[in-house]
A and B are shown apart, each in its own frame.
Chain A
Amino acid sequence: MNFVIVLVALLGSVWLLAVVEGWTTTGRLRPAAPLLSGLAHLGRESIVPRTPDRVFFETAPVLLLIVAVLGAAVLPLAPTLVIADLATGALFINAALAYVLVALIMAGWGPNGAYAMIGGWRFLGQLIAYAMLIVMPITAVAMRAESLVTTVIVGSQGGLWNIVYQPLGFVLFFIAAMALAFRAPFDLPTAPGELGGGVDAEYTGVRLGVLRLARLTLVITLASATTVFYLGGWHGPLLPPWAWSLIKTLAVAVSMLLAGRYLPRIREADLMRWCWTLGIPLALLNIIVVGLLVLVVP
C-alpha cells in the first residue's frame, strides 16, 4: 500500500514540477501541458541509431528511472509512510544514486554518437566533483540523529531542523544534489549549447519520454532527500505530515529548477576545483562542528 501511495506522490510531484517548469519557460500556467507532451512521445517514432550498443541504449533510460524510484523508496513522507524503512536508509540512497553515473555512461555509450559519448564521460568527471559532497554532509546528519534510518533522522529534527543546526551541510548538499541531478547550471552531460543534448541527443519517441520522466523523478527524489535530511521532513504545524513532506519537496525541487534558469552553465574545471578545494574542506569543517555540537549540547 505504501508503495502505491509513494509512487503516486512521486508522479504527482513530477507533474507539478513539470507544470512549474513550463510556467517559468513559457510564462503560461498550463496544467495539462506536461501530460500532453509526455503522451506525445508515444505518438512519435522511436529511432534506434545505427550500430548502437543495443543493451546499453535500451537500458539506460529505464535504469535511470529505476534508480530514482529506488532512492525515493527509503525516504519517508510521514512517520509510517515509507516503502522500506531500512536500518541503513541514508547509506542505501547513496548506493542507489551511484547508479545515475552508470545509467548516464550507458546512455552516452549506447547510441554510438560523439556528443552523447562526451556527455556520458563528462558526468564521470562530475561524479568525482559532487560525490564527496553528497556523502560527507549526510555523515553529519547521521551523526546528529545517531542513526542511518531515515525516519529517525527526521525524528531527530523535531526540535530544530538541520538547515539551522548545520546550514553549511545544507548548502553543500543542495549544490551537490543539483549536480547529481544534472540540472542547469550543472547540466554538463546534456549541455544543449555545447553537446546538442549530449546523453539525450540520440533518444526519440517513447525512450525519450522515459528519459525525461526519469530526470524529473531524480530531481524529486533528491529534493525529497534534502527535505528528509535538512528540512525536518514531515514536521510542521496544522497540515498532515505527508502534506508537509510534499510541500517542502516541491519547494526544494522548484528552487533547483529556478537556480538553473538564472545562471550560466558552470565550467567543468571550476566545478571540480571548487568542489575539491573549497567544498570538501567545508564539508569536513561541517562534520567537526556538528561533532562538537553533538558532544557539547545535551
Chain B
Amino acid sequence: MISDPTMTITGARQRQGGFTVLQKWVSRALAGNLSCLIVPGPEVALSHGLDVTAAGMRITATPRDASVLLIIGELSEKMSEAVAVLYAQMPRPRAIVILGGQPPSTLPDADFSAGVSQAGLIDAVDWLKRALAKGAFSDSPEDFDAAVLHARIDYVCPMHPEVVQNEPGSCPKCGMDLVAREAGEPAPEHDHDHGHDHREHRHHEHEHQHHDHAQQHEHHEQERHHGHCHEHHDSHEHDHEQHEGHQHSHENHHDHGHKHQHDESDGDAEEKGSGHDHGGHDHGASGFMSMIEVTKDLPRSADGLAMDWMEVPFGPVFPGLPGGLKLTLTLDGDGVTEGQATSLVGMINESEKGKEIDAETFIERLASAMPLASVSYRLLACLAIERAAGLENDSATDQARAVALECERIASHLGWLAQTGRQLGFAWLTDRAATLQLEIRRASGKRLLELTPALQALAARLGRTPLLKSRLKGIGILPSGTGGLSGPVARAADDAGDAWARLWQRLDEIITSLDYIKATGEPGLPVLRNIGRGSGTGEATVETPRGEAQLSLILEHGQVKSYRLDTACSHHIGLVAKLVEGRELGDALVAVGSLDLSPWEVIS
C-alpha cells in the first residue's frame, strides 16, 4: 500500500535552514540504513508477530538514534503526548510509520500507514527506502510543535515576585535584571516531607534558560526523555514565592552554570529557618564551593550521603520497561528513594452508561485492548458471555481453548524473557527468546512440540549463565504478608519471592505448559459459540500468563450492558513503590521488570 504517491517525508528538514548538499546526498545514498523506535515497545511488536529486524530496520533504544517512529496500534491520549516528545527528540530526516491505528493528534500525518502485519511492515520499509533514496524530503515541513511541548517562559524580578513580564528587562521597582522561569499551572501541594528536594532538578532546568531564552523555538527539542518535562513545570512559581530574597543565587550562576546545589541549600535554609549565613555561600566572591556547606541541609540517603534528589521518569517508552508503563523514580545519585508506577495505556473499567455493546464487538475490543495477552482475554470474554447466556460447558471446546491459553502462556513468558534480556543488556537472551516467541506464535500443535528441546535448552542455558544469579538473587523480594498476588508472582512468592525465583517459576511454567499441550492436543482460538439473544449475568475467571483475571458482565438480548474486569496487574502495580524503595537504580528496574507488569492490563 502506497500512502503517498509524491513520496515526501514530512519531518525531513534540518532544524536550522535546509539540508546541506552533503547531508542530503548522504541521506539519499544511505537510505537503506533505517533505525526505528517502536511505540509502545518491542514486546508489543513481538506479541503481534512482527519481526522488525527481519523487515530491515534496526531497533534502537532511544529516539536520538532513530530515524523512523514505528507506532503499533491505537495510542491512548497520554501516550500520544509522550510520543510527541519522543518525535521531537528524533534527528531529521525522520519518518512516522503507523501500523493498525489512527495517527495521534499530537503528531504530523503518518508518512506510511498499514495494518498490523508483517507484510505491512515490509511495505513500509520498502516505501521509506525508496522515498529516501529519491530524496523525498519535504521542502518546507513545518516546525514540529505540539501543545505538550510548550513551557511558557516569563520573566520575574527576584526581589519582587509580583513583577512578571513576558519579555526580558529590568524591574521597575529595584532595577534588577529580571530572571527567566517556566510559567505553568499553579503549584501543587508538596505534602510529602521532602517535597522541596524534588525541585532541585527543575531548578537546574529552568535556571539555565537565562543563557538561553533566545533559543526558545528550540525549546521543545530538548524535552529530556520520554515525555516528562511538561509535568514538571508546575512548581516553579511555588519555588520563587517561597524563596524570594536570595537573589545571589541567580546572579551567580552565570559563572556557575551548574552549581545548582548552592541554590537548593539556600532555599532549604530559609524554609527551615536554620539561619545560617548566606554570605558564606557566595562562592561568586570566594571562588570556592564547600561540599560540606553545600550539602549540609540536604536530606541523607540510605547510605548516609547527602545528595541532590531528582525525580526522573522512566517510560512510557523505555528499553528496560514494558511500553506504556511509566515509572517515576526519585533518585539520589543512582539510589532510589521512592518511586511509583502508572500505566498510560490501561483499560478503563466501566462501560459507558447505557451504552450496549454487541457481544462479538465486546470480545474483539477486550482482546485488542490487551495486546500482550489477547487470547486469554478473548477466552475470558467468551466464557463470561456464554455463562451469562446460560450455555453449558462443552468439553472439546474447553480443551482446545485451554491449549490455546497454554500456548499464549509460553509465548508471553518468552516475551518477558526477551524484555528482561533488553533490560539486562543480555543480547543473546533477547534474540533467542524473541525468535522462539515468534516461532511459537506461528506454530501449530505438532510444530510446537518440536520446539520443546529448544525451550528446555534455553532454561538450561540460563541456569549456567554467570552473573545472572547474582543479578537477580535477592532483588525484588516481596514484603511478607503481601496480599492480592496471583500468577507466577504469587507462585514464586512461596519460594524465595525474589526476581530469581520468578525467573525460574516462569521457566518451569513454560515446560509445564508444553507437557499439558503434549497430553491434550491442538489449540483452538476461542470463538464465541452461538448465544442467540440470551440474557443474564455471567462471571468467569481465567488464569492469564500474568495471573488471575476476572470478568463479570450483564448480558441483555445478546448485548453486553455492563461489565467489571479485575486483573492481576492492577494489583501488582501497587507493589512497585515498596520494591524500588532504597534500592540501586539497576536493582529497582530489575525488581519492577520481574513482576512482568502489562500496563494494558492495569484497570483504572
A interface residue numbers (CB < 8 A to B): 25-26, 36-37, 39-40, 42-47, 49-51, 53, 109, 112-115, 118, 121-122, 184-185, 187-188, 191-197, 200-205, 208, 260-270
Cα distance, A231 to B314, chains bound together (Å): 44
Q: Is B320 an interface residue (CB 8 A)?
A: yes
CB neighbours (8 Å) of A45 from chain B are: 14-15, 23, 91-93
The answer to whether residues A264 and B471 also contact, given A26-B53, A43-B23, A50-B222 and a CB cut-off of 8 A, is: yes
Interface string of B421-441 (1 = CB under 8 A from A): 111111111010000000000
The answer to whether residues A194 and B423 also contact, given A53-B257, A112-B208, A267-B471 and a CB cut-off of 8 A, is: yes
- Closest-CB distance, B482 to chain A (whole angstroms): 24
Asked whether, in the complex, the Cβ of B589 is within 8 Å of the Cβ of A194, the reply is yes
Closest to B19 in A: A43
Q: Which of B200-231 contact A (CB under 8 A)?
A: 201, 204-205, 208-209, 211-212, 215, 218-219, 221-222, 224-226
Cα distance, A132 to B29, chains bound together (Å): 47
CB neighbours (8 Å) of A39 from chain B are: 26, 29-30
Q: Is B511 an interface residue (CB 8 A)?
A: no
Asked whether, in the complex, the Cβ of B589 is within 8 Å of the Cβ of A36, the reply is no
Q: Chain B's interface: helix, strand, loop or mixed, by majority?
A: helix
B interface residue numbers (CB < 8 A to A): 14-15, 22-30, 32-33, 53, 61-62, 64-65, 67, 89, 91-93, 201, 204-205, 208-209, 211-212, 215, 218-219, 221-222, 224-226, 257-258, 310, 312, 314, 318-320, 331, 333-334, 421-429, 431, 465-468, 470-471, 584-587, 589
Number of A-B contacts (CB under 8 A): 183
Cα distance, A266 to B467, chains bound together (Å): 6
- Closest-CB distance, B10 to chain A (whole angstroms): 15
8 A–B contacts, CB within 8 A, in A order: A36-B30, A112-B204, A112-B224, A188-B586, A193-B320, A195-B585, A203-B64, A264-B467
Closest to B26 in A: A43
Asked whether, in the complex, the Cβ of A267 is within 8 Å of the Cβ of B586, the reply is yes
Asked whether, in the complex, the Cβ of B257 is within 8 Å of the Cβ of A268, the reply is no
Cα distance, A169 to B565, chains bound together (Å): 61
CB neighbours (8 Å) of A115 from chain B are: 224-225, 312
Cα distance, A40 to B26, chains bound together (Å): 6
Q: Which of B30, B209, B222 contacts A49 (CB 8 A)?
A: B222
The answer to whether residues A51 and B222 also contact, given A44-B91, A114-B310 and a CB cut-off of 8 A, is: yes
Cα distance, A269 to B475, chains bound together (Å): 13
Asked whether, in the complex, the Cβ of B331 is within 8 Å of the Cβ of A53, the reply is no
Cα distance, A188 to B467, chains bound together (Å): 14
CB neighbours (8 Å) of A185 from chain B are: 425, 467
CB neighbours (8 Å) of B586 from chain A are: 188, 191, 194, 265, 267-268
Q: Which of B22, B53, B225, B470 contacts A196 (CB 8 A)?
A: B225
Closest to B219 in A: A50
Asked whether, in the complex, the Cβ of B208 is within 8 Å of the Cβ of A43, the reply is no
Cα distance, A270 to B61, chains bound together (Å): 25
Asked whether, in the complex, the Cβ of B320 is within 8 Å of the Cβ of A265, the reply is no
Given contacts A25-B431, A26-B53, A261-B428, 13 further A-B contacts (CB under 8 A): A37-B30, A40-B30, A43-B22, A45-B91, A49-B221, A50-B218, A118-B333, A118-B585, A188-B586, A191-B425, A260-B425, A264-B425, A266-B467
Ordered nearest first, which 5 A-B pairs have the shortest CB separation?
A50-B222, A43-B26, A51-B208, A193-B320, A43-B27
Cα distance, A45 to B141, chains bound together (Å): 15
Cα distance, A133 to B176, chains bound together (Å): 55
Q: Which of B209, B312, B423 contacts A193 (CB 8 A)?
A: B423
The answer to whether residues A204 and B427 also contact, given A43-B23, A47-B221 and a CB cut-off of 8 A, is: no
- Closest-CB distance, A270 to chain B (whole angstroms): 5
Asked whether, in the complex, the Cβ of A192 is within 8 Å of the Cβ of B425, the reply is yes
Cα distance, A173 to B224, chains bound together (Å): 37
CB neighbours (8 Å) of B215 from chain A are: 50
Cα distance, A266 to B318, chains bound together (Å): 20
The answer to whether residues A268 and B471 also contact, given A191-B425, A197-B64 and a CB cut-off of 8 A, is: no
Asked whether, in the complex, the Cβ of B67 is within 8 Å of the Cβ of A265, the reply is no
The answer to whether residues A114 and B23 also contact, given A36-B30, A40-B30 and a CB cut-off of 8 A, is: no
CB neighbours (8 Å) of B466 from chain A are: 263
CB neighbours (8 Å) of B318 from chain A are: 196
- Closest-CB distance, A51 to chain B (whole angstroms): 3
Closest to B588 in A: A194
CB neighbours (8 Å) of A37 from chain B are: 30, 33
- Closest-CB distance, B438 to chain A (whole angstroms): 15
- Interface-central residue, B91, B258, B425, by most chain A CB under 10 Å: B425
Asked whether, in the complex, the Cβ of B23 is within 8 Å of the Cβ of A42, the reply is yes
- Interface-central residue, A39, A50, A112, A187, by most chain B CB under 10 Å: A50
Asked whether, in the complex, the Cβ of A194 is within 8 Å of the Cβ of B91, the reply is no
- Interface-central residue, A109, A262, A268, by most chain B CB under 10 Å: A262
CB neighbours (8 Å) of A193 from chain B are: 61, 319-320, 422-425, 589
Asked whether, in the complex, the Cβ of B425 is within 8 Å of the Cβ of A265, the reply is yes
CB neighbours (8 Å) of B585 from chain A are: 118, 194-195
Asked whether, in the complex, the Cβ of A204 is within 8 Å of the Cβ of B334, the reply is no
CB neighbours (8 Å) of B587 from chain A are: 267
Q: Which of B208, B312, B319 contacts A114 (CB 8 A)?
A: B312
Asked whether, in the complex, the Cβ of A205 is within 8 Å of the Cβ of B91, the reply is yes
The answer to whether residues A194 and B320 also contact, given A50-B219, A51-B212 and a CB cut-off of 8 A, is: yes
CB neighbours (8 Å) of A118 from chain B are: 312, 331, 333-334, 585
Cα distance, A208 to B53, chains bound together (Å): 22
Cα distance, A37 to B53, chains bound together (Å): 15
Asked whether, in the complex, the Cβ of A40 is within 8 Å of the Cβ of B334, the reply is no
Closest to B587 in A: A267
CB neighbours (8 Å) of B22 from chain A are: 42-43
CB neighbours (8 Å) of B226 from chain A are: 196
Cα distance, A37 to B215, chains bound together (Å): 31
Closest to A114 in B: B312
Asked whether, in the complex, the Cβ of A121 is within 8 Å of the Cβ of B333, the reply is yes
CB neighbours (8 Å) of B204 from chain A are: 112
CB neighbours (8 Å) of A188 from chain B are: 586
CB neighbours (8 Å) of A267 from chain B are: 470-471, 584, 586-587
Asked whether, in the complex, the Cβ of B225 is within 8 Å of the Cβ of A113, the reply is yes
Cα distance, A208 to B66, chains bound together (Å): 12
CB neighbours (8 Å) of A200 from chain B are: 62, 64-65
Asked whether, in the complex, the Cβ of A262 is within 8 Å of the Cβ of B33, the reply is no
- Closest-CB distance, A186 to chain B (whole angstroms): 10
Asked whether, in the complex, the Cβ of B221 is within 8 Å of the Cβ of A50, the reply is yes
CB neighbours (8 Å) of A260 from chain B are: 425, 427
CB neighbours (8 Å) of A113 from chain B are: 224-225
Cα distance, A267 to B64, chains bound together (Å): 26
Cα distance, A191 to B423, chains bound together (Å): 8
- Closest-CB distance, A61 to chain B (whole angstroms): 13
Asked whether, in the complex, the Cβ of A265 is within 8 Å of the Cβ of B428, the reply is no
Asked whether, in the complex, the Cβ of A263 is within 8 Å of the Cβ of B224, the reply is no
Cα distance, A160 to B23, chains bound together (Å): 53
Cα distance, A114 to B333, chains bound together (Å): 10
- Interface-central residue, B62, B209, B310, B320, by most chain A CB under 10 Å: B62
Asked whether, in the complex, the Cβ of B26 is within 8 Å of the Cβ of A204, the reply is no
CB neighbours (8 Å) of A109 from chain B are: 258
Asked whether, in the complex, the Cβ of A208 is within 8 Å of the Cβ of B65, the reply is yes
CB neighbours (8 Å) of B470 from chain A are: 266-267, 270
